[in-house]
Structure 1
């Protein structure tokens, strides 16, 4: 649980009293490869913190899965547009590897906000970070070429190339696998 404490401490001070509150409200959960954290149409009821493993965010459009984000160790996982208002999700999140997380329910997170010193501030800062990342991803999709998006993905997550099937990376970049192969070939020549 030390990694979770450290991640929260990035946003607000975490003393022994805060550690006790956090430990009492988060629970450890294991996901097998392919197991959903969240399914489209269901309300997102948890926020997770990945200790080990990898998750994929995707939506299904006309029967085709479109990957748009990956989360790995020491990152928070949730679909905030479903979680915050407690409405059905338009997206799915699944484990790409066997994954270990600490999860917290909507009710427990609200209790954390109200009982932990600086709890509300922590929640606001984390949501702000998620919001900025979402805007950057959206802007990139409209202003960058697929090659630029691929380079940004590799820069942000250099270790993921070996952990994620190429067709998921291609989907995230917004191209077909054959196009990703051409992009990779062009980049290897430079």
Structure 2
């Protein structure tokens, strides 16, 4: 791994600062030391759509565009102030054939985060309704969801941000609560037969 560490360049990104812009041909990957980034694009109707979140110990990258040497379809932006270790992917790739341990790590990482982890999400989009995807996200990512605004979660899950439905409006005290508290409260009443909530808030 020493050969790989020689390629690493420390870099900091302020909140809302882009690491990769849509339309650029990306050359680098970034290992997230501290902070949180997201990969996103703008849909046909002008809605924000989030493809992935990259938190600590994840590698932020526009993988397909980097491999193909083509303009990225996505932007990767820091949601929080973030510290990363960037490295040139072409230089990293040249190490793979000479260092089996690096090759094994990279293959294992890609299998886990870009194949195995994404498959259930793809199935969920086909078979689960929006609320079920929301509940599953909170169960699957209990710490991550506390760091996100509700509209970030909605943009990731394909849920249109809107106020609580009329069936729960009188019961919900979520107005005035923090986003995390509102999410926790809404989740606690999802099982009520007289209540159906659609999550989210409009971004500022």
Q: What is the TM-score with the length of structure 2 in the denominator?
A: 0.75
Partner of 1:166: 150
Q: Which moved more, 1:56-65 or 1:174-183?
A: 174-183
- Cα distance in structure 2, aligned partners of 1:161 and 1:124: 28
1:60 aligns with 2:42: yes
Contact 1:170 1:180 (8 Å CA) reproduced: no
1:120 aligns with 2:103: yes
The counterpart of 1:137, out of the listed 118, 121, 124, is 121
Q: Count how many residue pairs are aligned between Structure 1 and Structure 2.
A: 172
CA 180–141 in structure 1, closer or farther in 2 if over 3 Å, else same: farther
CA drift at 1:186: 5.0
Partner of 1:3: none
Partner of 2:14: 32
Q: Which moved more, 1:147-156 or 1:99-108?
A: 147-156
Greater fraction helix: 1
Q: Which moved more, 1:158-167 or 1:51-60?
A: 158-167
Secondary structure in structure 1 of the residue aligned to 2:69: coil
Partner of 2:31: 49
1:96 aligns with 2:76: no
Q: What RMSD in Å do the two structures reach over aligned CA positions?
A: 2.2
Q: Which moved more, 1:96-105 or 1:109-118?
A: 109-118
Q: Which moved more, 1:151-160 or 1:50-59?
A: 151-160
- Cα distance in structure 2, aligned partners of 1:125 and 1:36: 27
Contact 1:25 1:112 (8 Å CA) reproduced: no
Output one character per residue of 1:54-79: Cα deviation in whole Å (capped at 9) or x when no partner.
01111112332212321111111112
Partner of 1:146: 130
Q: Which moved more, 1:154-163 or 1:81-90?
A: 154-163
After TM superposition, the runs of 4+ consecutive aligned structure 1 residues lying more than 3 A away are 179-186
Q: What is the TM-score with the length of structure 1 in the denominator?
A: 0.80
Contact 2:33 2:56 (8 Å CA) reproduced: yes
Q: Structure 2: 5+ residue runs without aligned partners?
A: 169-181, 192-204
